[in-house]
């Protein structure tokens, strides 16, 4: 299970996630592997996926789609996202209905039996046009299979799965004007705590910021840059 954190501040956007992904082999035994879940969409934008493993594939497809179009503006990225993901998710659902259950279990990828029963795609970016509100967050997803992709209403802070205590901590820091690096420290501390509590959240942790300078990966668990 992925833990995703995003926080929009006047200074920029904070993104954080663990890298542990889960799948089940033919005997039903749970297996883990590491996967980078923050995808660069452009110089000033990124996507993070959570839930079903199809989210990672959808994110990579969207990344290629934007690169082929040479699209960088967050407004256009957001506009294109829902119809693009709806098409991919619809194809996924139709294909899954055609494949026998035994074959699905054998061929499933990461997180296909995740405790998060839906797929979630968080898009974050900086606008070159909107100086009044330059930072944008959009959460898309489907709570359960069989439902099309929709846009969720969100505030300045997003956690998937939710943690009300962490949301309050980040929101308090944001309202006090805490430096963006302090918020990153809070995220890393929270991810370390979650990894100690649950076997499905684990390092390395990926943390990034989006500011006028662009998307920048800040640190990983273990001190890697």
pLDDT digits (tens, 9 = 90+) for 174-212: 999 999 999 999 999 999 999 988 667 888 999 999 999
pLDDT at 32 over 90: no
Instruction: State the pLDDT at residue 112.
Output: 39
Round the average pLDDT of the chain to a whole number and report it.
Answer: 86
Q: How confident is the model at residue 96 (pLDDT cuts 50, 70, 90)?
A: confident
216/42 Cα distance (integer angstroms): 11
Instruction: State the pLDDT at residue 30.
Output: 57
67/219 Cα distance (integer angstroms): 25
The CA-atom distances, in angstroms, between 51 and each of 21, 80, 84, 160, 180 are: 10, 21, 18, 9, 27
Cis peptide leading into 184, omega within 30 of 0? no
Instruction: State the pLDDT at residue 111.
Output: 37
Does residue 148 sit in helix, strand or coil?
A: coil
Q: 68 with 60: CB under 8 angstroms?
A: no
**Averaged over 79-103, what is the pLDDT?**
81
Instruction: State the pLDDT at residue 221.
Output: 56
Superfamily name and number for 4-220: Aminohydrolase, N-terminal nucleophile (Ntn) domain (3.60.20.10)
**Domain boundaries in the chain?**
4-220
pLDDT at 134 over 70: yes
207/223 Cα distance (integer angstroms): 12
DSSP secondary structure code for residue 117 in this structure: -
């Amino acid at each position: 299970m992925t833990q995703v954190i995003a926080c929009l501040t006047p200074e920029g956007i904070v993104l954080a996630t663990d890298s542990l992904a889960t799948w089940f082999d033919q005997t039903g035994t749970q297996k883990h592997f590491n996967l980078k879940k923050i995808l660069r969409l452009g110089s000033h934008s990124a996507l993070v996926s959570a839930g079903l493993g199809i989210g990672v594939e959808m994110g990579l497809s969207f990344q290629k789609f934007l690169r082929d179009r040479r699209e960088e503006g967050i407004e256009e990225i957001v506009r294109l996202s829902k119809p693009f993901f709806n098409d991919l998710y619809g194809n996924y659902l139709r294909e899954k209905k055609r494949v026998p259950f035994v074959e699905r279990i054998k061929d499933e990828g990461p997180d296909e039996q995740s405790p998060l029963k839906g797929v979630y795609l968080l898009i974050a970016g900086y606008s070159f046009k909107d100086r009044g509100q330059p930072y944008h967050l959009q959460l898309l997803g489907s709570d359960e299979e069989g439902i099309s992709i929709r846009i969720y209403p969100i505030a300045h802070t997003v956690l998937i799965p939710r943690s009300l205590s962490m949301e309050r901590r980040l929101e308090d820091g944001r309202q006090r004007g805490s430096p963006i690096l302090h918020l990153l420290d809070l995220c890393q501390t929270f991810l370390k705590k979650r990894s100690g509590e649950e076997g499905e959240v684990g390092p390395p942790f990926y943390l990034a910021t989006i500011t006028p300078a662009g998307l920048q990966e800040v640190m990983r668990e273990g001190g890697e840059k």
